[in-house]
Amino acid sequence: MKPIYITETPNTFRLSFEYNKELVTTIKRVPSGPRWDAQEKEWIVKKESICYPPGRDARWYVEAFAQWAVAKHFCTNISRRSESHDVVYEIPPMKNFTGEHYMLLNPYEYQLEGVRYALDHKRCIFGDQPGLGKTLQAICSVVKAHKEAAVYGDSFPVLVICPAALKVNWQREFKKFAGINAVILDDKNRDSWHRFYELRRGDGDPYAPVFITNYESLKKFFVSDVKDHARMTLRSIVFDERIKLFKSIIIDESHKCKSSKTQQSKYVEGICKGKKWVFALTGTPVVNNNTDLIQQLKILGRLDDFGGYKQFVGRYCDGPKQSSNLRELNYRLWMCCFFRREKAKVLTQLPDKMRQYITCDITNRKEYDDAENDVIKYLRQYKNASDDRVARAMRGQVMVKMGILKQIAARGKIKAVSEFIHDVIDGGEKLIMFAYLKEVVEALKKEFPDAVTVTGSDDIKAKQNAVDRFQNDPECKLIILNYKSGGTGLTLTAASRVGFIEFPWTYSDCEQAEDRAHRNGQKNAVNCYYFLGDKTIDRYMYNVIQTKKDIANEVTGTTTQIEEDMLNITMNLFQDRI
């Protein structure tokens, strides 16, 4: 049993309470005919109505109903709130960026505005919609602060905390955007990682100013001891003294820290405590309700800016949905420590299609390495074969083994891809995922049972139903396709994000698949994500495909030519080992 909530606005009373048939029947008897707001899950009672008898108005009926509900023990008590529509919470425009950005690539104007915000506010949330380049903005922010330390205060060394699947990607992005060699923390450098920073180049800059780890490894690298307390607090955690080296912390997918009850969120809070620069990156800062913000604001050291825990909860987490005074909260976040842009707002600055590859660890490394060694063994025999007939026969065998190598890499990426999918659909966006292997499709379907599929196992009617549901049902967030059945002909413009856990041999097939979303009716820039297994054939294959993107593969790519090309590609890939 819960309270009955009464919110007064200038023109209405809004009532929310736990469902009870007798309560619903009674509220409908109010003369003005209360309206049910399905989205907000509230009953709306108009203040002005000719239906009210003399001497009784909306307030009288609402109060009488509420007191009756409590007296009958349908509700525990009456909770009253007011919502003023006289206050205008106008978000000010983002400030222009000034000076040098120090990136190897030119950021977009809106990205530089985000950098300006971060430099001005120092501890803040980058809340841009996914696909708008939060990673680049964070890198640019810490690099500019370091380069102009006399103005901003130094930001190096930097610690990046991210999901395990994105560690290699962050390392690559620092190199790509800033020319910085970041160090991924692992068991080999567990006790010596700080020495990378102590080494200096001739120009005096640190050799390795950036270190990258994942949430699950925080305890291993940065916690010396956890005292045996019934309830974990910061006081019960003994941190490694080396965390004092870090001047700035970047927390990718910070909504993973939304609960104060998890060890990981406590570790992140302790590592960030007292830091001048803390940048939290998330396109979905609120997953469930406003309480999701509390721990993230604590990590930033910003909760006191909202009056502390009790005041934040009382003001912004009231009501059955624990989300109140939303316009005011949004305004105060923007003014204090948060910015967000949506694709539609910055569309004029974006290309109509953007490609990005995400390097991720595979979970079956030994299986892959064994298969790769097998391929190299065959390549040595093929290279030394003197008989053309024998060489031709072996070529077919090599191609089969190459296919097996791709399949093993694909299976090893399922865990990392699943984490990515969860982040996208949990944020309310739709996603198109392409795969080749039936077992990969089945594994994704098992992880996401509400997804629809278009594969060779689906009949024509089932395929069309899947497409129609994905296009028209707001609750259907994920469609999984294979290239043969779903790579051409379909219109899937309900999504602007396309992911590839596996990819075909030719660029034209990739482009056809991308264009399921990138076609007439698409209102947003399309983001395409290619998942490449770290230290696998994926990276080399992707580079080859992209360099051939100007070739009309549909015309020149017969099966024989493709097989011959792939054999040459394979020979080049392993040339140092055969």
| Amino acid at residue number 288 | N
Buried b (16+ CB within 10 A) or exposed e, 39-63: eeebbbbbbeeeebeeeeebeebbe
Residue 437 has pLDDT above 80, yes or no: yes
Rounded to an integer, what is the distance from CA 330 to the centroid of its chain? 20
Per-residue buried b or exposed e for 80-106, using 16+ beta carbons within 10 Å of the residue's own CB: eeebeeeeeeeeeebeebeeebebeee
User: Cα–Cα distance between 483 and 164 in angstroms, integer?
Assistant: 28
Q: 411 and 440 in contact (C-beta within 8 Å)?
A: yes
Q: How far is it, in rounded angstroms, from Cα 473 to Cα 387?
A: 60
Give the per-residue pLDDT at 248.
96
Distance (Å, rounded) from C-alpha 115 to C-alpha 111?
6
Residue-range domains of the chain with CATH: 4-82 (3.30.70), 110-342 (3.40.50.10810), 353-360+411-577 (3.40.50.300)
Distance CA 24, CA 11 (A): 22
Residue type at position 97: F
pLDDT in tens, 480-525: 998 777 766 678 889 999 999 987 766 667 777 888 888 777 878 8
Residue 273's CB is within 10 A of a number of other CB atoms, namely 15
The answer, yes or no, to whether residue 277 has pLDDT greater than 90, is yes
Does the structure show a pLDDT above 90 at 451? yes
* pLDDT value for 368: 94
- pLDDT > 70 in the chain, percent: 86
Q: So what's the pLDDT on residue 116? A: 97
Using the structure block, give the residue that is written with the tokens 């040595």: 380
What 3 state SS string does 15-60 have? EECCCCHHHHHHHCCCCCCCEEECCCCEEEEECCCCCCCCCCCHHH
Rounded Cα–Cα distance for residues 16 and 79 (Å): 10
8 A C-beta contact, residue 360 and residue 166: yes
**Number of DSSP helices (H) and strands (E) in the chain, helices first:** 23, 20
| pLDDT tens per residue, range 35-64 | 988 777 889 999 888 888 888 899 999 999
What is the pLDDT of the chain when averaged over all its residues?
Answer: 85
Q: Is the pLDDT of residue 204 over 80?
A: no
- Residue 275: CB partners within 8 Å, gap ≥ 6? 123, 246, 247, 248, 249
| pLDDT tens track for 296-331 | 999 999 999 998 998 899 888 887 778 888 888 999
Q: Which residue spans within 334-447 are E strands per DSSP?
A: 338-339, 353-360, 431-435
In angstroms, rounded to a whole number, what is the distance separating the alpha carbons of residues 170 and 166?
6
Contact 569, 395 (CB under 8 A): no
Strands 12-16 and 42-46: antiparallel
Q: What is the pLDDT confidence band of residue 210, given thresholds at 50, 70 and 90?
A: very high
Q: How sure is the predictor about 289, in pLDDT bands with cuts at 50, 70 and 90?
A: confident
For the record, the structure tokens of 305 come out as: 């800016």
Q: Rounded mean pLDDT of 447-454?
A: 93
Model pLDDT, residue 200: 53
**Alpha carbons 382 and 326: distance in angstroms, whole number:** 67
Q: Name the percent of the chain lying above pLDDT 90.
A: 44
Distance CA 378, CA 381 (A): 5
Max CA pair span of the chain = 107
Can you give the pLDDT at residue 562? 44
- How does pLDDT run across 356-386, given as a tens digit for each residue? 888 888 999 999 999 988 888 877 776 666 6
**Which of 47, 113, 115, 54 has its CA nearest to residue 85?**
47
Following DSSP, what letter does each residue of 517-555 receive, concatenated?
TSSTT--S-EEEEEEEETTSHHHHHHHHHHHTTTS-HHH
Beta-bridge partners for 251: 161, 280
Angle subtended at Cα 564 by Cα 504 and Cα 507, rounded to the nearest 5 degrees: 30
**Confidence band (pLDDT; 50, 70, 90) for 387?**
low
Residue 236 identity (one-letter amino acid): S
> Is residue 455's pLDDT more than 90?
no
In this predicted model, what pLDDT tens digit does every residue of 62-97 receive, in sequence order? 999 999 999 999 999 888 776 655 556 788 899 999
Residue 25 and residue 65 in contact, taking contact as beta carbons nearer than 8 Å: no
